[in-house]
Homo-oligomer: A and B are copies of this chain.
Amino acid sequence: MSVTDELLANNAAYAAQFSGPLPLPPAKHVAVVACMDARIDVYRVLGLQEGEAHVIRNAGGVVTDDEIRSLAISQRLLGTREIILIHHTDCGMLTFTDDEFKRSIQDETGVKPSWSAEAFGDLEEDVRQSIGRITGNPFVPVKDSVRGFVFDVATGVLTEVRP
């Protein structure tokens, strides 16, 4: 039995006690951009209920064109007004460099990715970088509350990164 099949069986149990549907726009008007790290259950970490916030996640919790796309849709079409960025301690993105990663892919496949791997050496600096990519972008209209945090995987605590 694959893990996918096992998780589908879990879904049957979830659906059996499901009470929906909820409205499409996020009730708390907030969008979260977080790392894909398996240890960050964003809803639990922030005490969110279903229907309350958009949750955008990727390797590192970084901001690339795809996060700008998602945030533009979130704010312009679905009315979110605050943005919360979450990086975390013990992040895999701290363990390699773009050059190394892309070289290893090129050596194996013969092709070098045209994208940046977005590895980083300093957590707080990268949170500030992610904030800057949002505040400096013309397509995300609401920038009054764009705040960045580091989640400590040992304690569960979010600590704000000051500009």
A74 within 8 A of B: yes
Q: Which residues of B contact A136 (CB under 8 A)?
A: none
A84 within 8 A of B: yes
Q: A12 CB to closest chain B CB, in angstroms?
A: 8
Please judge, given known A-B contacts A59-B70, A82-B2, whether A22 and B45 are in contact too, CB under 8 Å: no
Q: Convert A10-29 into 0s and 1s, putting 1 for each residue whose CB lies closer than 8 angstroms to a CB of B.
A: 11111100101110111111
A125 within 8 A of B: no
A-B contact pairs, 22 of them (CB 8 A): A2-B145, A3-B29, A3-B30, A3-B82, A4-B84, A7-B28, A9-B47, A11-B46, A11-B158, A15-B156, A15-B158, A21-B153, A24-B92, A26-B38, A38-B53, A38-B55, A40-B50, A41-B50, A57-B57, A58-B69, A66-B66, A73-B93
